[in-house]
């Protein structure tokens, strides 16, 4: 029997919803998400409202509002990452190059060009061929999400990610300003 390799993600929004509601059964905590916009299940609330003409920010806002409306609990704070988690890594291209490029030539110039064209890390698009993780694999054939993503993110201060990824920063700010529960 061949074993199945887990590659991340979830199958359906129903699974997501079940886990969120389970977390909200505890009254002493907030529940949040960190899902990639790229690859969200098709049955995710708000998916039917988005179209290709919308920006990534508009898509994320619609989906976050739709999920929030579906869950309908003040202790739930949805976050959908533009476009993939790997955009956060692009907040420090030197960390990427130092970790993945250790056994090959530097790709800093190409990473700089990706950022220049996108404008900021969170705007690196979700095309199946040019998504952030696909770009990393193209530049660094030895790139593997696990363990490279962990090694890279450990090298980047949270303040640096926040300074370069506004949607992510907004989410963290929201979490930091939540009132205490149960007092």
Residue 25, class by beta-carbon neighbours within 10 Å (0-12 exposed, 13-18 middle, 19+ buried)?
A: exposed
Q: Which phi and psi angles does 35 have, rounded to 5°?
A: -115, 150
* Confidence at residue 126, expressed as pLDDT on a 0 to 100 scale: 64
Which tokens in the block code for residue 43? 């049955």
Which residues are within 8 A (CB) of 161 and not within 5 positions of it... i.e. 6 or more apart? 88, 91, 92, 168, 169
* Confidence at residue 6, expressed as pLDDT on a 0 to 100 scale: 46
The pTM is what? 0.90
* Mean pLDDT within 128-155: 92
Q: Do residues 89 and 107 make contact, with C-beta atoms less than 8 angstroms apart?
A: no
CA atoms within 13 A on the CB side of 152: 28
Task: Please state, for a pLDDT cut of 90, what percent of the chain lies above it.
Answer: 83
User: Which of 38, 37, 87, 88 has its CA nearest to residue 67?
Assistant: 37
Q: Do residues 67 and 107 make contact, with C-beta atoms less than 8 angstroms apart?
A: no
* Mean pLDDT within 15-40: 94
* Confidence at residue 104, expressed as pLDDT on a 0 to 100 scale: 83
* Mean pLDDT within 95-106: 91
pLDDT in tens, 29-46: 999 999 999 889 999 999
Q: Is the pLDDT of residue 158 over 60?
A: yes
Task: Please state, for a pLDDT cut of 70, what percent of the chain lies above it.
Answer: 94
pLDDT in tens, 37-86: 988 999 999 999 999 899 999 999 999 999 999 999 999 999 999 989 99
């Amino acid at each position: 029997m061949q074993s199945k390799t887990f590659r991340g993600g979830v199958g359906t929004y129903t699974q997501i919803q079940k886990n969120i509601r389970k977390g909200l059964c505890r009254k002493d905590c907030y529940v949040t998400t960190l899902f990639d916009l790229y690859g969200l299940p098709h049955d995710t609330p708000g998916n039917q409202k988005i179209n290709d003409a919308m920006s990534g920010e508009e898509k994320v806002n619609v989906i976050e509002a739709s999920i929030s409306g579906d869950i309908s609990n003040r202790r739930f704070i949805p976050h959908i990452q533009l476009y993939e988690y790997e955009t956060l890594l692009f907040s420090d291209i030197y960390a990427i190059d130092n970790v993945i490029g250790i056994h090959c030539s530097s790709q800093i110039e190409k990473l700089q060009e990706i950022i220049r064209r996108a404008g900021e890390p969170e705007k690196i698009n979700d095309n199946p061929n040019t998504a952030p993780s696909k770009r990393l694999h193209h530049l660094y054939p030895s790139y593997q999400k696990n363990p490279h993503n962990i090694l890279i993110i450990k090298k980047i201060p949270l303040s640096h990610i926040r300074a370069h990824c506004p949607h992510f920063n907004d989410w963290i700010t929201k979490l930091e300003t939540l009132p205490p529960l149960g007092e």
